[in-house]
C-alpha cells in the first residue's frame, strides 16, 4: 500500500521510543524507592514538577521524568507532524499543527489554565 | 498539596494492570476504571482524577502504535479535532478544581450513561455522502487496507464535528477519562469516518486531551509520581494483555463486559455522590 517513509511510521516510532524510555525510568525509580516521602508543592509547570521531584529524591525524580517522557508524546508527534506538513507544503495543516504546538508549549510551561 | 497515601506502589501497579486490562477488553479505556477504583480505595475524587488523566496518555500512546502502522488513524482528522479537544481539556481540568466533589460523582455517572447510549446506537450511522467545502479544504480523507481490499473514506461536516469536540475534551478534562466513546461517536456519526478509523483516531486524540488536562492538574500539586508512575506501569502492561485477549473473545462478550462494567461504575459513583452530599 504505502511504501517508504510516511508520517504514520515516524509518529509510531516516536511513540514507541518515548513509552519504552518512560516505562524504564519509572521502573528504575520505583525500584530505587525506599519508603514514601511526600512533598508539599504546587509546581509552576510540568518541567518545574520534574525539577521539584528531583530535588526531593532521585527515585522520585526518575519516576516523574519517566511519566513526563510518556505524557509529552503527543507534543513530540505534533512537532513531527508540523515538520512533515512544512516539507509537504500543506499550509492548512502547518497552521493547525503550529497552533497546537504553541498551545501545548505554553501549557507545559505553565501559562495555560484558569488557576 | 500531596495527599498522604495508605496504599503502596505494588497495589497501584495491580490497580493499573486491572484497569488497563479491563479497559482495553471492554473498550472503556483504563482511566474510566482507574478513577472509580481509586475512589473505592478511599482516595479523594479530585486526586483520583488528576492522577488517572496522566495514565490515559500512556495507554493512548501504547495502543496507537499498531493502529498507525496499519493506517487506520486519520492524522489530518486528528490534528483538526485536537485543536478543539485541547481547549475543552484545559477548561474542564480547570473547572474540576472549583466544583464540589458530589458534582464530579454525578457528572461522571451521567457522562458514562450518555456514552453507553452512544455505544448502543452505532447502527444508526449511515447517511448521504455530501462533502462540504470546509471539509474539502481540510482534506479529511484517506484509505486503509482490510483483508486485501483498499477501503477509501472521505469526511464531512467538519464545521460541526470540531466544536462538538470541545464538549468531549471538556468531559475528559473534568473527569480524568478519555471520553473515547463520545469522541468515536462524533467522528463516526458527524464526520462520517468508518468505525475502525473513528476508533483509531479517537484513541490517538485521547492522548492529546490527556496532556492538555495534565498540564493543568500538575500545577495543583495533586499529581504524585508515586501514584501515577505505578498506575502507568500497570495500565500499560494491562492494556497490552487486554488487547491481545480481545482478539480471542467475541464482540458479544466484549460488549456485555463493557455494559456490565459501565453500569457497575455508574452505580458506584452515584452511591459515592449521594454519600458526599
- Please write the tens of the pLDDT for every residue from A5-21: 788 889 999 999 999 99
Q: Is the pLDDT of residue A115 over 60?
A: no
Distances (CA, A) of B45 to B115, B155, B209, B260: 20, 38, 19, 22
Name every chain B residue with its beta carbon within 8 A of the beta carbon of A26: 229-230, 232-233
User: SS3 for A42?
Assistant: coil
Distance, in Å, from the CA atom of B12 to the CA atom of B8, rounded to the nearest integer, reads 7
Mean pLDDT (chain B, rounded): 83
| Mean per-residue pLDDT, B226-241 | 89
Cell 485477549 -> residue: B245
Q: Does B61 touch chain A (CB under 8 A)?
A: yes
Model-level pTM?
A: 0.86
Q: Does B94 touch chain A (CB under 8 A)?
A: yes
- ipTM comes to 0.91
Q: Does A69 touch chain B (CB under 8 A)?
A: no
Q: What's the pLDDT at B125?
A: 46
pLDDT digits (tens, 9 = 90+) for B214-233: 999 999 888 999 999 999 99
Please judge whether B61 and A19 are an interchain contact, meaning their C-beta atoms are less than 8 angstroms apart.
Answer: yes
Nearest to B57 by CA among A56, A42, A22, A106: A22
Find the closest chain B residue to A44 by CA distance.
B219
Q: What is the DSSP secondary structure assignment for residue B187, as one 8-state letter? A: I
Name every chain A residue with its beta carbon within 8 A of the beta carbon of B54: 67, 71
Q: Where are the alpha helices (DSSP H) in B97-194?
A: 101-120, 133-138, 158-175, 180-185
The distance in angstroms from the start CA to the end CA of chain A is: 48
Nearest to B38 by CA among B234, B243, B204: B234
Distance, in Å, from the CA atom of B21 to the CA atom of B30, rounded to the nearest integer, reads 8
Cell 500499560 -> residue: B236
Q: Does B228 touch chain A (CB under 8 A)?
A: yes
**Grid coordinates representing A42?**
504546587
Angle between helices A7-32 and B45-69 (to 10 degrees): 140
Amino acid at each position: 500500500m504505502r511504501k517508504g517513509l510516511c508520517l504514520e511510521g515516524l509518529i509510531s516510532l516516536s511513540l514507541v521510543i518515548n513509552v519504552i524510555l518512560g516505562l524504564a525510568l519509572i521502573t528504575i525509580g520505583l525500584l530505587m524507592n525506599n519508603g514514601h516521602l511526600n512533598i508539599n508543592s504546587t509546581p509552576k509547570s510540568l518541567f518545574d514538577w520534574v525539577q521539584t521531584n528531583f530535588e526531593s529524591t532521585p527515585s522520585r525524580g526518575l519516576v516523574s521524568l519517566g511519566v513526563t517522557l510518556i505524557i509529552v508524546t503527543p507534543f513530540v508527534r505534533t512537532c513531527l507532524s508540523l515538520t512533515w506538513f512544512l516539507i509537504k507544503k500543506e499550509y492548512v495543516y502547518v497552521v493547525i499543527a503550529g497552533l497546537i504546538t504553541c498551545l501545548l508549549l505554553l501549557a507545559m510551561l505553565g501559562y495555560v489554565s484558569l488557576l | 498539596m500531596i495527599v498522604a497515601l495508605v496504599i503502596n506502589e505494588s497495589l497501584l501497579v495491580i490497580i493499573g494492570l486491572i484497569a488497563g486490562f479491563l479497559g482495553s477488553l471492554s473498550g472503556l479505556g483504563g482511566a474510566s476504571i482507574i478513577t472509580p477504583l481509586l475512589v473505592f480505595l478511599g482516595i479523594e475524587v479530585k486526586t483520583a482524577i488528576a492522577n488517572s488523566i496522566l495514565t490515559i496518555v500512556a495507554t493512548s500512546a501504547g495502543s496507537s502504535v499498531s493502529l498507525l502502522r496499519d493506517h487506520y488513524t486519520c492524522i489530518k482528522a486528528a490534528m483538526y479535532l485536537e485543536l478543539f479537544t485541547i481547549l475543552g481539556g484545559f477548561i474542564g481540568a480547570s473547572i474540576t478544581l472549583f466544583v464540589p466533589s458530589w458534582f464530579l460523582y454525578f457528572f461522571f455517572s451521567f457522562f458514562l450513561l450518555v456514552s453507553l447510549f452512544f455505544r448502543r446506537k452505532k447502527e444508526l450511522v449511515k447517511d448521504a455522502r455530501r462533502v462540504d467545502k470546509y471539509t474539502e479544504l481540510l482534506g479529511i480523507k484517506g484509505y486503509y487496507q482490510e483483508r486485501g481490499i483498499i477501503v477509501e473514506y472521505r469526511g464531512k461536516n467538519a464545521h460541526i464535528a470540531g466544536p462538538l469536540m470541545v464538549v468531549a475534551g471538556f468531559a475528559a478534562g473534568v473527569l480524568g477519562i478519555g471520553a473515547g466513546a463520545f469522541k468515536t461517536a462524533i467522528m463516526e456519526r458527524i464526520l462520517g469516518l468508518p468505525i475502525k478509523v473513528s476508533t483509531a483516531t479517537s484513541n490517538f486524540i485521547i492522548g492529546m486531551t490527556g496532556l492538555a488536562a495534565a498540564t493543568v492538574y500538575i500545577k495543583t500539586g495533586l499529581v504524585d509520581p508515586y501514584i501515577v508512575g505505578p498506575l502507568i506501569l500497570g495500565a500499560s502492561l494491562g492494556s497490552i494483555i487486554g488487547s491481545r485477549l480481545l482478539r480471542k473473545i467475541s464482540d458479544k462478550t466484549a460488549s456485555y463486559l463493557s455494559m456490565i462494567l459501565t453500569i457497575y461504575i455508574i452505580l458506584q459513583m452515584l452511591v459515592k455522590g449521594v454519600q458526599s452530599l
